[in-house]
Amino acid sequence: MDAGGCQGVLGLTEEEAALIEIKLALARGIKERRLSLRLIQEDLAKQLRSSQSRVAKMEASDATVSMDFLVRSLLVLGATTQEVGRVIARSSAAPAA
């Protein structure tokens, strides 16, 4: 279930649901970009000076991962600011369940 579907069940405000959707979109964007570059999580971890388990948490939208780290990771993977914006925009384009 996406954040939009969880909104009513969890009693989230529209803003809280939107933030969750953005975080999910960033996480998907990181994984998609990493895979398109044929990198394994360990490769990305080295570029970020982090760990493979942290990359796995990023890609799973773990609550312990900050949005700025997600954005920075996309930039490290070569995304432009416009591409980051498109990733975020896709979060609002998805229909709510």
Tens digit of each residue's pLDDT (9 = 90 or more) over 19-51:
999 999 999 999 999 999 999 999 999 999 999
Reading the block at residue 60, the tokens are 């799973």
Going by pLDDT thresholds of 50, 70 and 90, the confidence category of residue 10 is: confident
Only one residue has tokens 């773990």, namely: 62
pLDDT number for residue 5: 54
* pLDDT at 65 > cutoff 50: yes
Quick check: pTM over 0.85? no
45, 52 Cβ separation under 8 angstroms? yes
**Distance separating the N- and C-terminal Cα atoms of the chain:** 7
Residue that the structure tokens 């998805």 belong to: 94
